Amino acid sequence: MNKPKKVAILTAGGLAPCLNSAIGSLIERYTEIDPSIEIICYRSGYKGLLLGDSYAVTPEVRAKASLLHRFGGSVIGNSRVKLTNVKDCVKRGLVQEGEDPQKVAADQLVKDGVDVLHTIGGDDTNTAAADLAAFLAQNNYGLTVIGLPKTVDNDVFPIKQSLGAWTAAEQGARYFWNVVAENNANPRMLIVHEVMGRSCGWLTAATAVEYRKMLDRAEWLPELGLSRESYEVHGVFIPEMAIDIAAEAARLRAVMDKVDCVNIFVSEGAGVESIVAEMQAKGQEVPRDAFGHVKLDAVNPGKWFGDQFAQMLGAEKTLVQKSGYFARASASNAEDVRLIKSCADLAVECALRREAGVIGHDDDNNFVLRAIEFPRIKGGKPFNIDTPWFTQTLAEIGQPKGAKVSVGH
């Protein structure tokens, strides 16, 4: 097929520390390879596509695209829109009653003269992209969709490492470095650090590891109460690992008695099934988003864990802090920028030869960086609790490893 004359970029779903860098990297690479290829960016993800609302990438924008690497978020905007959820699209005024959102999106791409659509998002975004790609193919639209995988959860099958996850772990660790000092604001303090991760504990585990690296680099003065023990991670709780609340309470009670505080890292998806069951038993409505996911900010897992442990540990005060918004809105770190640029470079190559798919290191093909076929993309990839660095972390903090738990998505 002929090279594209015009490409479009959109970001969608929640934020991750890679979106601006991915946008910037795509613009930079197209400008290097062939500046005659036009670029537009749809505002607010699939919402902008449905409404035909976009930015033109002018020569001035191309010249300053590198600025995007310095900022977090997505300058072109995000939204949570599922093209196959017709009822929600109608309710939000994105399509008219009786219209098919996929057809509206496809027709808008044709109207805008777009040959290649780059989607930057997580499993929901790329599932939506897969649905759109299939619709385009079945209806002979002749358009190519190429996805880039972002999610702080790092839970996309079959992608080894999603964009932004390394940065989110690093930033979550930085966040907790300040929060943990609250342990000396009150005797017998329980601090719960809630980390993002709906059905995958990778980010919680990785954040704990990054934070403990900071502890390794610090100097201590235990003679005046400045001890690593009071700054340490005392427990890590993730969806993929069973939790014996009573046994953990007994172990953590001994820590509290010794160092006068307990710090635990909790994945926001850990314990959700128990929380939802409690809410339903009380006749309470469980809020869900357009994709059917439980709204985790509404069920508040961190508070639930704090409530479960506080009395059993004899905590005088419980502090629950969430690092999610701080971590996910960061600019990409150097490690992520390298990954983003390599993925963006391949995405442009694929666009030139009109090869569809999601760009990533393929778990099932010797981790080769390639355009992974859309039908193989799905969310909910669990974190392997037998990963050596996680096993070592649990051993070092004295936490027994729980049994593996099958996690729904």
> 77 with 137: CB under 8 angstroms?
no
Q: Looking at residue 10, what is its pLDDT?
A: 97
The β-bridge partners of 362 are 159, 368
Quote the longest CA-to-CA distance of the chain.
74
Q: Looking at residue 46, what is its pLDDT?
A: 94
CA dist 357 and 370 (Å) reads 8
| Average pLDDT for the chain | 92
Name every residue whose Cβ is closer than 8 Å to that of residue 140 and which is 6 or more positions away in sequence.
none
SS3 40: strand
Judged against a pLDDT cut of 90, whether residue 199 lies above it is answered with no
Name every residue whose Cβ is closer than 8 Å to that of residue 167 and which is 6 or more positions away in sequence.
17, 18, 327, 330, 331, 332, 333, 335, 336
Give the 3-state DSSP-derived string for 270-335, with helices as H, strands as E and coil as C: CCHHHHHHHHHHCCCCCCECCCCCECHHHHCHHHHHHHHHHHHHCCCEEEEEECHHHHHCCCCCHH
Per-residue pLDDT averaged across 162-183, rounded?
97
Q: Which residue has the tokens 């930015």?
A: 55
CA dist 32 and 185 (Å) reads 54
> 130 with 144: CB under 8 angstroms?
no
DSSP track, 390-404 = HHHHHHHHTPPPPPB
**Token pair listed for 341:** 């640029």
Q: Looking at residue 281, what is its pLDDT?
A: 64
Annotated binding site for Mg(2+): 123
What does DSSP assign to residue 332? P
DSSP track, 214-273 = HHHH---BGGGTB-HHHHS--EEE-TTB---HHHHHHHHHHHHHHHSEEEEEEETTTTHH
Q: Give the tens place of pLDDT for each residue, 44-97.
A: 999 999 999 999 999 999 999 999 999 999 999 999 898 989 999 999 999 999
**Token pair listed for 201:** 């504990």
CA dist 339 and 343 (Å) reads 6
Q: Looking at residue 298, what is its pLDDT?
A: 59
| Identity of the residue numbered 307 | D
**Token pair listed for 306:** 């704090």
**Token pair listed for 152:** 């702080």
Annotated binding site for diphosphate: 14
Q: Looking at residue 299, what is its pLDDT?
A: 60
Q: Looking at residue 48, what is its pLDDT?
A: 97
Q: Give the tens place of pLDDT for each residue, 250-300.
A: 999 999 999 999 999 999 877 666 556 555 666 766 666 655 555 656 567
SS3 121: strand
Residue 84 phi/psi, 5-degree rounding, is: -85, -5
Per-residue pLDDT averaged across 399-406, rounded?
93
The β-bridge partners of 157 are 378
> 382 with 183: CB under 8 angstroms?
no
Annotated binding site: 14, 123, 151-153, 196-198, 268, 325-328
Q: Give the tens place of pLDDT for each residue, 20-44.
A: 999 999 999 999 999 999 999 999 9
CA dist 368 and 389 (Å) reads 23
SS3 180: helix
Q: Looking at residue 311, what is its pLDDT?
A: 92
> 371 with 345: CB under 8 angstroms?
no
Judged against a pLDDT cut of 60, whether residue 1 lies above it is answered with no
Percentage above 70 pLDDT, the chain = 93
Query: 133 pLDDT band (50/70/90 cuts)?
Result: confident
Lowest mean pLDDT of 127-131, 180-184, 223-227, name the range: 127-131
Select which of 124, 131, 153, 345 is catalytic: 153
**Count of C-beta atoms within a 10 Å radius of residue 93:** 10
Judged against a pLDDT cut of 80, whether residue 216 lies above it is answered with yes
**Token pair listed for 211:** 């934070």
Of 184, 206, 163, 209, nearest to 358 by C-alpha is: 163
Judged against a pLDDT cut of 70, whether residue 333 lies above it is answered with yes
Active site annotation includes 100: no
Query: 345 pLDDT band (50/70/90 cuts)?
Result: very high
Burial 322-356 (b: 16+ CB within 10 A, else e): bbbebbbbbbbbeebbebbbebbbbbbebbbebbb
